[in-house]
Structure 1
Amino acid sequence: MVLDLVVIGTAISLGPLHNSAFILLLSARSGVRLGLAFLLSWLANLVAVIAVVVLLTGGQPPARHSTPSTAAIAAKLAIGLGLVLYGAHRRRRPPRPHGPPRWAARIDNASWVTAAGVAWLLQPWGLVGAGAATALKANLSTAGDWLALTGYCLLATLSLIVMEMYAVWAPAAAKSRLNALRNWLGRHQEQLIITLSLLAGLWLMAVSIYQLIT
């Protein structure tokens, strides 16, 4: 479970779409507050999904090869296959120019509610679902599994935490460097999405197939 959560959390954290949007928010007049609203909404979404899973299982993992256990593995397999197909589709299609999102021109007038809503919209729900299916195996009577789930939520938010802290402690340097990072993400967005989709999808498929046949 722990290794799966590390892979999924890393793939979520490295996604170029939400990181680019977050940098745009940080560049606004109230950027630190907007960034904090985005970050907290992002983290709250992850925690809420895990909390629902824990409530459904009562903190006890289902028995191996039981119907709930097999269904969770099948869901991860389906998500993995979907990610691979999505990555392959984007790799085959003609490249498209990627400018700033439509709301970027109105960023200075954005509210914290808007920032929180953008975080919800940009959450990679396929990977979040894979994380939820993995969390089904958590046994909350052990401290290790509590730490694993907490670490997963923080890892999936790590890029946002780092950028938010950078903007707070070194605002002048952060502005220029984060804008340079956003430009780099814009130029390599397609490659990053394809690579993350294929790697995460293949990992989920391989692990799920192994779990189903053993």
Structure 2
Amino acid sequence: MVLDLVVIGLAINAGPLHNSAFILLLSAPRGVRKGLAFILAWLGCLVLVLAAVLLLTGGKPPAPRSAPSTLALALKLVLGIAMVVYAERKRSRGGGRRAPRTPKWLGRLDSASGWTAAGLGVLLQPWGLVAAGAATVVQAHLTSLASYAALVVFCLLATSGLIAMELYATFRPEKARTELGALREWTETHQDQVIVTLSLLAGVWLVAKSIYQLV
């Protein structure tokens, strides 16, 4: 479970769309406050998803080969296959070879309110990966210290890039504006390539682990 959550958390953290939107929020007037609203909503959403799963399981993993255990593994398998298919379709359509058009709504983030920033923190979650993380947490046993640590690490990994950019913009605003702007430009230029790579790697990992555990 721990390794699965680390892989999924890193994949969530590296997602290009929410990172581009977050950098634009930071560069807007009162950007640090808007960035904080985004992070709190993002992290709160992750915590709520994990809490809902743990409430359903009672903090105890289902017995191996039981219906709930098999269902969780089957969900991870379906999500993994969907990610691989999505990556291949996007790649075959030229997703890894041409720069994508920047969505128009990204250009309007300069005037976004704090509430809008918080809403984006929820909407821009990579929900396929979040669902995979939730299916993995079904295996968590809350009598184990390692399980608590794994949940904390998952949330921190999934949010670490946002937190790092927020701190950078807070304490080194001028330098952050230049360097984060360059990062956003690179991310937008290579957005499809990053999405294809992340979807393929995460999808193959989920498929392989799910099949291994099911068999």
Same fold (TM > 0.5): yes
Q: Supply the distance in 1 between the matched residues of 2:131 and 2:119 (Cα, whole angstroms).
A: 19
Q: Supply the distance in 2 between the matched residues of 1:74 and 1:197 (Cα, whole angstroms).
A: 18
Residue 152 (structure 1) aligned to one of 151, 154, 158: 154
Q: CA deviation at 1:97?
A: 4.7
Q: CA deviation at 1:38?
A: 0.6
Q: CA deviation at 1:185?
A: 0.4
Q: Supply the distance in 2 between the matched residues of 1:104 and 1:129 (Cα, whole angstroms).
A: 25
Q: CA deviation at 1:104?
A: 3.5
Q: 1:172 is matched with which residue? A: 174
Q: 1:26 is matched with which residue? A: 26
Q: 2:5 corresponds to which letter in structure 1?
A: L
Matching of residue 121 in structure 1 with residue 131 in structure 2:
no
User: Does the Cα contact within 8 Å between 1:30 and 1:108 map onto a contact in 2?
Assistant: no
Q: 1:52 corresponds to which letter in structure 2?
A: A
Q: 1:83 corresponds to which letter in structure 2?
A: M
Could you report, residue by residue, the CA deviation over 1:171-207 in whole angstroms, capped at 9, with x for unpaired residues? 0100000000000001111110000000000000000
Query: Helix, strand or coil for the counterpart of 1:60?
Result: coil
Could you report, residue by residue, the CA deviation over 1:14-62 in whole angstroms, capped at 9, with x for unpaired residues? 0111000000000001100000111111111111100000000110110
Query: Helix, strand or coil for the counterpart of 2:187?
Result: helix
Q: Supply the distance in 2 between the matched residues of 1:138 and 1:118 (Cα, whole angstroms).
A: 29
Q: 1:112 is matched with which residue? A: 114
Could you report, residue by residue, the CA deviation over 1:105-134 in whole angstroms, capped at 9, with x for unpaired residues? 432321111001112111110000000000
Q: 2:65 corresponds to which letter in structure 1?
A: H
Q: CA deviation at 1:70?
A: 0.3
User: Does the Cα contact within 8 Å between 1:37 and 1:112 map onto a contact in 2?
Assistant: yes
Q: Supply the distance in 2 between the matched residues of 1:97 and 1:200 (Cα, whole angstroms).
A: 22
Q: Supply the distance in 1 between the matched residues of 2:205 and 2:143 (Cα, whole angstroms).
A: 28
- 1:164-203 correspondence to structure 2 within 5 Å: 164-203=166-205
Q: Supply the distance in 2 between the matched residues of 1:112 and 1:168 (Cα, whole angstroms).
A: 16
Q: TM-score, normalised by structure 1?
A: 0.97
User: Does the Cα contact within 8 Å between 2:99 and 2:188 map onto a contact in 1?
Assistant: no
% identical aligned pairs: 59
Over the aligned positions, Cα root-mean-square deviation in angstroms equals 1.1
Q: Supply the distance in 2 between the matched residues of 1:108 and 1:191 (Cα, whole angstroms).
A: 26
Could you report, residue by residue, the CA deviation over 1:62-97 in whole angstroms, capped at 9, with x for unpaired residues? 001100000000000000000000000100113565
Q: 1:74 is matched with which residue? A: 74
User: Does the Cα contact within 8 Å between 2:99 and 2:192 map onto a contact in 1?
Assistant: no
Structure 1 residue runs without a partner (length 5+): none
